[in-house]
Structure 1
């Protein structure tokens, strides 16, 4: 597979420049490109890489059996492979699939205190194993969460350069409409991204072949791999219940209110029987959970109903892969989507917000007269974000902005198949600019 440019590349380079760098744990779902990115970084920045995969090379699990002193670990690695070199200051230890070896996380404190070698760990962080890893080496490691490719990385894969992408942002910042050609070209590419998603192997195949052939099969295989991981790693929880929830996500997204109801996952199911299941899937990097706010006001955290939520796939391509085989064609042609059209757009906007560091919240009042898809915030105010699959009315958005009882809301954002604009109440942006939202809200007033 050709190596795709990723945002983690620069983040790892910045980590290397920091003289006080801590051992790094790169966590995230499977098959999002963690291993390839870390391996490429290691080759570029170090003379030697000691790469150990605890899932594939089980003989290395014993390197911590005699304690966690770095000299002891190095000696034990050398016993297994005497050809490796350990040059202080020029060697990176890359421990992959650390969820299969909890002792590895304990060793990070020793590596940090020793100081001769840099360490990067990676893993799918599934289930209770990650909780064990979290409690080890506190204060002696740094966590980094990696996601599947965002739309900017997809544009890089398609050959667009930083200057072209920055020009898009300047249009957004200056509220300057895009040309018809720009709007058409980037809308078409965004529709490709919606169908393909951000899994690097799938993106690579699509870009190389310049057609969708084989991509649906790859998406479906990743979904099967994730189910296999659930069966393998969900210790302490009922694996059947986790699979039940994971497989039902498309069903609830296809309903008008999209609310996820445990009672409808299986006959007679109760919330108390499913405690921890949704958290497990979220911690594993497989889903995004969007909670209903009790009131549309600040602060966001502590102002939501933990039992009222929607579940989205972390990668929209996997949502597409979970649906009927005809769906890819339908989405490309922009037809036959009905309720699912809104679900796919909401899923991808939620994914783009999470990749910028936003938690997900929505609002729907008890009467159902005011409803909003997402909320973000700037330094001063709460910002409703409306996702419009069709060019319909924006009654809820106008009410939230205009009515005095919603005092924390000063303006809003409407995302749709629209050009850039501002009507004094809310900004209008095309979907494909959503990945710039956090930067825009930070720089807007400047």
Structure 2
């Protein structure tokens, strides 16, 4: 298993809660939830028992129905069936793909109260109606999100731990990397932008160094997502697929906002809200909403009618973008990698930044004002995050972020944003394919794109 930052969160949960809650690992299909749960169980407990509810036999499911009030018999039969010796306070039970059997999730309340063992649940699509229908969602769950590998984790997997450390150290001390390391980091970032962070894809690429082989795996994952839409989005699957298929075209537009009328001239956002929620809940997309009056509580002024819909993994975005042919040859990926093919790189760069910010724990917001009568004029800010600001005694302020795919650009919108919102604004950032430039007097820092995960 690759080294994952989420493992430390799991360890913190185990040591802090001591069985007082169950850990619920949410994430997209094929993001590595089962792998990290079993690896954690093997390393941190004397024994473990894992039930995959997507394929559990009926006799196991019956145990959850027949022995809810008799835990002694329940554990005896469960241990005997899986031939595992469960040790009180030293064993963990994994409920894998728990959305496939909602009664098991509801049972967590009683199991946690019993206190004999620890419990880890994994799942996706945990909020849609059919997966919570007729059950009481337990308050004893501690939820955590497992994302695709971010760029730092990709470097660890690639065997570039020292470069990953150098990038982190450079960011923390605000000093540029030497040019040789900067160039190496940018080259690896471009590979990451095309490969993405889905563990199975990364593993294959590291072994084979073959973009074509990685593309085939990405296409299988995309097909799995389509099958999930057909299975779980019943009644509005056509709308979900319409949004999903339109993502590359929407991101290729200059302002990146999802124009719902592109699906159909009579389409209205209110009719597609459930579709955007479904894709986000499945962790297929990272949705970014307009914050109309940005303050440190960015979600207080969220406009759900204005949304940018990024793919949760940039590697999957590349496969979806090139899906107009049955297979995508490795040569095409290499032409993109080495800049020999003209294409809209901005969409991939912005999607990559969204992925890194999401992996760092940020909800995604942007700012858009198209009112030319406003004295500050129209402006568009790619991302907004809240961050401590040293010029305000380390109090939280809004940090606007612009993502740039080229080395020549302007900062007009960043300057207007500072003028309009004044003391609400902290350090401003530009993420671009160039070395770090720190201008503390102007309260603006240019960071190389490979530092997006540091914010």
Q: TM-score, normalised by structure 1?
A: 0.90
1:334 matched to 2:339? The reply is: yes
How far is the alpha carbon of 1:134 from its aligned partner? 8.7
Do 1:297 and 1:407's aligned partners in 2 also have CA atoms closer than 8 Å? no
Matching residue within 408, 423, 427 for 1:411: 427
1: CA distance, partners of 2:24 / 2:279 = 19
1:434 and 2:433 matched = no
Q: Which residues in structure 2 correspond to 1:36-435 (within 5 Å)?
A: 36-59=35-58, 60-69=60-69, 70-78=71-79, 81=81, 83-126=83-126, 127-132=128-133, 135-138=136-139, 140-161=140-161, 164-235=163-234, 237-266=235-264, 268-324=266-322, 325=328, 328-338=333-343, 340-366=344-370, 367=372, 369-378=378-387, 379-390=395-406, 391-401=408-418, 403=419, 405-423=421-439, 424-425=441-442, 426-435=444-453
Q: Which runs of 5+ in 1 are unaligned?
A: 438-446
Match of 1:441 in 2: none
* 1:46–1:170 CA distance, 2 compared to 1 (3 A): closer
Q: Tell me: CA distance 1:233–1:268, structure 2 relative to 1, closer, same or farther (3 Å).
A: same
Contact 1:49-1:91 at 8 Å conserved across structures: yes
Q: CA deviation at 1:198?
A: 0.4
Cα drift, residue 316 of structure 1? 0.6
- Per-residue CA deviations over 1:295-326 (Å, capped at 9, x if unaligned) read 34443112232101110001111100101237
Aligned length: 429
CA distance in 1 between partners of 2:296 and 2:15 (Å): 38
Per the alignment, residue 444 of structure 1 pairs with none
**Counterparts of 1:149 and 1:24 in 2: how far apart (Å)?**
20
Tell me how far 1:160 sits from its aligned partner: 2.4
**More deviation, 221-230/163-172:** 163-172
TM-score normalised to structure 2 length:
0.88
Q: What secondary structure sits across from 1:275 in the alignment?
A: helix
CA distance in 2, matches of 1:296, 1:39: 41
CA distance in 2, matches of 1:287, 1:256: 19
- Once the 2 structures are TM-superposed, how far is the Cα of residue 67 of structure 1 from its aligned partner? 4.2
Distance 1:271 1:66 in 2: 45
> Which residue number corresponds to residue 25 of structure 1?
24
